[in-house]
Structure 1
Amino acid sequence: MKRRIVYISGIIGSITTALLSILGFVATNRLMYMKLKDNDVILKREVLAKRFDEHWYETVRKKDLWVDSPNGYPLRAVFLKPLETTRTVIICHGVTENKINSMKYARLFERLGFNSVVYDHRRHGDSGGKTTSFGYYEKQDLQAIVHAVRKEIGSEAILGIHGESMGAATTILFGGEFEEEANFYIVDCPFSDFSQQILHILRINTPLRSRMTLRIANLFLKIRDGYTTTLVSPREVIRNVTKPMLFIHSLEDDFILPDMTKELFDLKPDQKRMKLFEKGAHAKSFNENPEAYEETIKSFLSDFHFIN
């Protein structure tokens, strides 16, 4: 009888281990290899919406930059120089997008007196890299981009960073670790903690609603990609950011909840502004409120004396 119980327990244990392994592998695949939007689809979408002017892009003064990531792959960036100025903003797109999605912000900053640098995150667009890490490795890539831009504009030039969604979280993670390297930050719909964000997505989209799923995923994520979601937490570093920061979110966003931006705003000690738009789904604040969005950024830059 005892032998039978041990045998049955062994079978159950083996099945459980196999199921947990499958769950961990599938969950980390969904994170590491999240399906990207087709580059042509992004281009067509932005052109049709008149957020990307192909003629302007073809004729504007610009410089292609290939920047070596400290993580061992090339990053594709484009330094857009429509103006005779050293004032520059680096623009970080969201997950599944590419640098074309950043062009609308480049035109906005041009109107405010800044040149801009758009680039593709790892595994996106023309950049290398095998996985997406939602800010963990991306913050180191951003530092490499900042260093390359500083070589172009000089150490005394005004340099800002604008990030959207994952790009916003990356911007905060960068600012919290490499604070001295930029003069200001603008973060549009960032998550405050990646673990909490994953749980939110699981609870609204899947029957997997427990933290056990996340713990299993983290075990496999650490083995497969060298980090865990607990290390991707803007809330843990936001207090280190002393430079001015503008927080933007839309109250209609049900993907990354606006409460996450409110939390980050409250945690940052000072030198901060926040704008919550009534209208706009996730990462659509500019699309739905272009004039008010630009005016919000203009006021922020003026308040902190980056423009007259």
Structure 2
Amino acid sequence: MIPGIALAYTALVGFSLTQGLMYPKRRSDEEIMEQESQIGHFDKDEFDRLEKLDVTVMSEFGYEIKGHLAAPHDTKKVMIICHGISMSRYNSVKFMNIFLKRGYNVFIYDARRHGESGGNTTSFGHYEKYDLRSVIQWLKNRYGEEMTLGIHGESLGSAAMLLYAGMLEDGADFYIADCPFEDLEKLLLYRMQKEIQIPEFMIMPIGRVFLKMRDGYSMKEVSPINVIDKIDKPILFIHSKNDETIPSSFSRNLYEKKKGYKKLFMPEAGGHEDTYTKNQHDYEKAIDEFLEEIGQHKSDTGRRL
């Protein structure tokens, strides 16, 4: 009787936890465009008129990564934008606009299992970091190794970006990490304490085993805090102080452990994934100061979509 109950509990907890991690809810492109339009971040007519290429990059895992290269400038300065969970490339347009105005061409793309990209599961940065490497290689093949490359990531996108830089190759010239988490297991514990208040020992050991069995990686591999000191290139950390989904202390911890040049912008206004919406002027000012300080001077083209 008791062994049967224990087995049933283990299966229920392991499956439920990993199901939520591997298959989080996604929004449709139409929902995202409507949302972004309502808050003034997206104009479909102007986006359609923008000079851009439809791009397909092959993932190292055999599926297609879909994106757009907005390339109105005759330059080898390029930004990559990595969106957050449940979103798609259309959520990245507001950040694309920031860098188009500053003379960069910009690559936006759908993360694995989001938008039009392939991939069976979401992995909170583990597999996504390899896809980012594939995107970077595609851009280097197009622009040459001498290109100037920056990467902006938000939430899951920022975690994937930091894992790429710290575990695979520090291949960009600078990074902007908006509301990253420092460690997947720590994030899950934080969320569980807020929502279900079940002791860690009753869930996490089971979750670790099931995640490895079901999706082929361990939670300890999804830990930007464990690799942040391997990133030599400059990083701007951005995080609203009142973010209740991913606490701002995660960004501060990453900032404090990062070696070399770093900058931290933590405004009072905003929650999760809306720091730019609530702080547009100061957000862009922080980016301008960061670019100036690292020698990537602003080049305002006056373009805004």
**Distance (Å, rounded) in 2 between the aligned partners of 1:212 and 1:19:** 10
Q: Is structure 2 residue 147 aligned with structure 1 residue 160?
A: no
- 1:289 corresponds in structure 2 to 279
- 1:255 corresponds in structure 2 to 245
The equivalent position to 1:265 in structure 2, one of 247, 255, 266, is 255
Q: How does 1:119-134 map to 2 (within 5 A)?
A: 119-134=109-124
Map Cα deviations across residues 72-114 of structure 1 (whole Å, 9 max, x no partner).
2110011011222110100000011110000000001011111
Further displaced range: 164-173 or 211-220: 211-220
Larger Rg: 1 or 2? 1
- Specify whether residues 242 and 20 from structure 1 end up closer, same or farther in structure 2 by C-alpha distance, changes over 3 A only: same
**Distance (Å, rounded) in 2 between the aligned partners of 1:307 and 1:155:** 20
Q: Is structure 2 residue 288 aligned with structure 1 residue 303?
A: no
Query: Which ranges of 4 or more aligned residues in structure 1 deviate by more than 3 Å?
Result: none
Answer yes or no: is the 8 Å Cα contact 1:199–1:211 preserved in 2.
no
- Higher relative CO (Cα under 8 Å, sequence separation at least 6) belongs to 2
Q: How does 1:74-85 map to 2 (within 5 A)?
A: 74-85=64-75
Q: How does 1:176-195 map to 2 (within 5 A)?
A: 176-195=166-185
Q: One-letter code of the match for 1:52?
A: F
Answer yes or no: is the 8 Å Cα contact 2:164–2:170 preserved in 1.
no
Which segments of 5 or more consecutive residues in structure 1 lack a partner in the other structure? Answer: 1-10
Q: After TM superposition, give the deviation of residue 207 of structure 1 in Å.
A: 3.3
Q: One-letter code of the match for 1:296?
A: A
- Specify whether residues 152 and 211 from structure 1 end up closer, same or farther in structure 2 by C-alpha distance, changes over 3 A only: farther
Q: How does 1:105-254 map to 2 (within 5 A)?
A: 105-254=95-244
Q: One-letter code of the match for 1:97?
A: M
Which segments of 5 or more consecutive residues in structure 2 lack a partner in the other structure? Answer: 299-305
- 2:76 corresponds in structure 1 to 86
Q: Is structure 2 residue 6 aligned with structure 1 residue 30?
A: no
**Distance (Å, rounded) in 1 between the aligned partners of 2:126 and 2:32:** 25
Q: After TM superposition, give the deviation of residue 41 of structure 1 in Å.
A: 1.2
Aligned length: 298
Q: After TM superposition, give the deviation of residue 208 of structure 1 in Å.
A: 2.4
- 2:51 corresponds in structure 1 to 61
What TM-score results when the alignment is normalised by the length of structure 2?
0.95
Q: One-letter code of the match for 2:77?
A: R
* 3-state SS of paired residue (2:266): strand
Q: After TM superposition, give the deviation of residue 291 of structure 1 in Å.
A: 1.1
Q: One-letter code of the match for 2:127?
A: Y
Q: After TM superposition, give the deviation of residue 71 of structure 1 in Å.
A: 1.5
Q: Is structure 2 residue 79 aligned with structure 1 residue 96?
A: no
Map Cα deviations across residues 237-290 of structure 1 (whole Å, 9 max, x no partner).
000000011000000101100110000000011111111111000111100011
Q: After TM superposition, give the deviation of residue 39 of structure 1 in Å.
A: 2.3
* 3-state SS of paired residue (1:277): coil
Answer yes or no: is the 8 Å Cα contact 1:179–1:242 preserved in 2.
no
**Distance (Å, rounded) in 2 between the aligned partners of 1:224 and 1:300:** 41
Q: One-letter code of the match for 1:205?
A: E
